[in-house]
Chains A and B, each alone.
Chain A
Amino acid sequence: MGGVTAERRNYKLKVWKQNGPDDSGHFEEIDAKNISPNQSFLEMLDQVNQELIESGKEPITFDHDCREGICGTCSLVINGNPHGPQKQVTTCQLHMRSFASGETIVIEPFRANSFPVVKDLMVDRSAFDHIIQAGGYISIKTGNAVDANSIPVGKEYADMAFNTATCIGCGGCVAACANSSAMLFTSAKISHLGLLPQGQPEHQDRVLNMVNAMDEAGFGNCSNTGACELACPKGISLENIARMNREYAKASLKSRS
């Protein structure tokens, strides 16, 4: 199991290179040599980049931050799958032991018109921020911290809300969806607040506004393939999309404006 190993592997990377959103982009073949199976995928890219820099070439641009699977910054479509082949694992938590030595690894950015490529593998996911700005919050005066349990929340609802709150907003759902739909993300955010009492006062407006913001951002529609759920590194379920669907219909019907 794991531990220090002297084993080193070589890979052939087929990496997407693109100079900004308007460039058409192309694949470039880059060798990844002397890679430990215990290196993470991003550490492998770090090593490749170091060698590219040392040989005077331009490094591969990619997004990363916490490298602990909780910030939602890392992305990449690896051999066709967002966040690589393993379920419920982010790219930063993926290790090179998942790839056979000598394998060709195809690395692409999250592709969606609503996620324009900044450079190479880095995409601009601010469309998600716009969806959040449309209602992914609760308006309260914070004041002092309230006592725990001052608002009763059923255990089942607390658990469901927590599960949706684990969405890290990485956009893997959009990347996996054949339609580049953002419904899994939006529904997770709507569910997270909608399942809790604190989210109730603004629930109706939140559902309407967040869905409208999602539609306006140019994401595609849901065709219930479930690809998003399979790709989600946090295991957010399709049940949330169904909840959003019925809450949106209800809110549209009840809305007084």
Chain B
Amino acid sequence: MNYLLSSIGRKQLMGISGLIMTGFVGGHMAGNLSMFIGPEAFNSYGHAIVSNKPLLYGTEVVLLLALLTHFVMGIWLTRENKRARKSKYAKPTNGDKSAQFASKSMIYHGIALLGFIIWHLCTFKFGNHYDVTYDGVMMRDLFTLMVEKFNQPLYAAGYVVLMLTVGVHLSHGFSSSFQSLGFNHPRYTPKIKTLSFLYATVVALGFLSMPIYIYLVY
């Protein structure tokens, strides 16, 4: 059987594509923190990225491939998983034998996050276009767009909830990728799990602080 069609091969593609996006969201969050410095820092940071075409297109292609792979594998594997048990249990595993919530619900937050990514791109990347000029350089005023969006209570609240969802997804996904790729060691795995939880927490808190800040301050 072909490696890429096997249960393990597809899980490993899931893991690699997940790790790529995991790395990206951390960088995305860190870069966006520039908004706390002010509109000029934030807009200039965005302008620097879109001005670097090789970086921009390269990242976009890799992320799009990762997203598609992750989505296709996720749906494909889950469909198989659901079909592997036709008759359901009256009671789920519980007590000492209960698995963690995040690990059992990846497909659900995964689908919610796909919806979020589309919504997010429509709002910002392909959303309203405002211009601003700093030192004679005209650039896109994403800060104004952000203020416009995050001043709507439902919009800001939706973002906060979805960023918590990102955190839940990452808390399992990060460490789970290592397991899928064959890395499990009694000394390192507990540390990877802790790191996974911390990374997910930092990314989620970093991201959700932004709509809250805009809503309260601007």
B164 CB–A CB distance under 8 Å: no
How many residues of chain A get a CB closer than 8 Å to chain B's CBs?
Answer: 53
On whether A226 and B100 interact (CB within 8 A), knowing A215-B6, A244-B8, the answer reads yes
Cα–Cα distance between A226 and B96 once the two chains are bound (Å): 12
Q: Which of B10, B84, B90, B97 contacts A112 (CB 8 A)?
A: B84
Chain B nearest Cβ from A91, distance in angstroms: 13
Asked if B184 and A239 make an inter-chain contact with CB atoms under 8 angstroms apart, the answer reads: yes
A150 CB–B CB distance under 8 Å: no
How many residues of chain B get a CB closer than 8 Å to chain A's CBs?
Answer: 46
Tell me which of B56-64, B144-152, B175-183, B202-210 binds A. Answer: B175-183
8 A–B contacts, CB within 8 A, in A order:
A106-B91, A113-B85, A179-B84, A230-B97, A245-B11, A245-B180, A246-B183, A252-B9
Asked if B103 and A225 make an inter-chain contact with CB atoms under 8 angstroms apart, the answer reads: yes
Q: Which of B89, B98, B183 contacts A242 (CB 8 A)?
A: B183
Asked if B11 and A108 make an inter-chain contact with CB atoms under 8 angstroms apart, the answer reads: no
On whether A113 and B81 interact (CB within 8 A), knowing A224-B179, A226-B100, A245-B179, the answer reads no
* Inter-chain residue pair count (beta carbon < 8 A): 155
A75 CB–B CB distance under 8 Å: no
Asked if A227 and B12 make an inter-chain contact with CB atoms under 8 angstroms apart, the answer reads: no
By secondary structure, the A interface counts as mixed
Chain A residues proximal to chain B, CB less than 8 Å: 14, 25, 27, 77, 79-82, 85-87, 106, 108, 111-114, 176, 178-181, 183, 211-212, 214-216, 218-227, 230-231, 238-239, 241-249, 252-253
On whether A227 and B7 interact (CB within 8 A), knowing A220-B80, A221-B80, the answer reads no
Cα–Cα distance between A221 and B80 once the two chains are bound (Å): 7
On whether A218 and B84 interact (CB within 8 A), knowing A86-B96, A230-B99, the answer reads yes
